[in-house]
A = this chain, B = another copy of it.
Amino acid sequence: VDRKIVEQFFSKLQESIVVGLEGADGQARFRRDRWSASETPQFDGGGGLTCVIEDGAVFEKGGVNLSAVEGRLSSRIAAHLKVSPGPFFATGVSLVLHPRSPQIPTVHMNVRYLEIAAEEGWQDGVARRWFGGGADLTPYYLYAEDARHFHETLATACDDYRDDAYARFKSECDGYFRSPHRDEARGIGGIFFDYLEQDLEKVFEFVQGVGRAFLPSYLPIVERRRDEAWSEHHREWQLLRRGRYVEFNLVHDRGTLFGLETGGRTEAILMSLPPTANWRYNYQPEAGSPEAQLVDVLKHPRDWIER
């Protein structure tokens, strides 16, 4: 694969997602901030396009980011990535959407491509290159049909790649999007994959499929839930759960910490944080309530579809 072609695909993917989400919101438009790596001294080149929506009819806050940068891995980050320190190239699309209604789930999707230069530098070629990515859903109130729809759409994108892809990536997702300090998952999962480097053209096709599956995996859920009633009680629960989302992203998420540590654009990276989040001491939902049912599923991840 050619990094320019990957970058072009990601750029078109971002645009189509932004347009699709604006259509679904019907009110707010994304603010488009183009930035250049020359503003961030840690990078050697490249840039990105940060697209942010705020105060929409459906989306209270969200972002769809594109970046394509060259930089140098610190020894710490290199050890984390299990590669040797040196020049890298990274490009990807990353999105998080926080709807206003507690009936509509928060969603995250990311597709990325990385290259690590040969030990002597880019002039000697590429030492390693791989794709990674994933998507996961974080409902505040659980609708089994929504969870099934989300997983089914992602599974279909996986099936073309490998027979066992969905099962593997679903299980990796349950492992990754988990807060050990809370002993619970962040949501009802989805798929997660990293270091896919064998048969790269086929992997690229798979990654394109995952990217294209995003809108069909999520927008039907938005349409089903957007007119569902909710009260202050639902809202308070949403804000408390958003607090857990913040905890996961800032304490555990490797993507966020990698971004902040490599000197990425902080405002673009932290677009994943919700507009408002709450914390209460030792809040426990009432036994048998919809809130308690959600927590039970977060503690014991389920299989949502057959594969």
Residues of A bordering B, CB below 8 Å: 31, 33, 50, 52, 54, 61, 63, 181-182, 239, 243, 246-247, 250-251, 257, 260, 266-267, 270-271, 273-282
Give CA–CA (A276, B278) in the complex, Å.
4
Give CA–CA (A246, B182) in the complex, Å.
17
User: In the complex, given contacts A251-B257, A270-B279, what are 5 additional A-B residue pairs having Cβ atoms less than 8 angstroms apart?
Assistant: A182-B266, A246-B250, A250-B251, A276-B278, A276-B279
Distance to closest chain B CB from A261 (angstroms): 8
Known: A246-B250, A251-B257, A251-B260. A54 touches B280 (CB 8 A): yes
Give CA–CA (A275, B54) in the complex, Å.
22
Residue of B nearest to A183 (CB): B266
Give CA–CA (A250, B248) in the complex, Å.
9
Residue of B nearest to A256 (CB): B251
Known: A246-B250, A257-B251. A266 touches B54 (CB 8 A): no
Give CA–CA (A105, B63) in the complex, Å.
31
Q: Are A279 and B61 in contact (CB under 8 A)?
A: yes
B residues within 8 A CB of A274? Answer: 279
Q: Are A260 and B181 in contact (CB under 8 A)?
A: yes
Give CA–CA (A302, B266) in the complex, Å.
25
Give CA–CA (A239, B246) in the complex, Å.
15
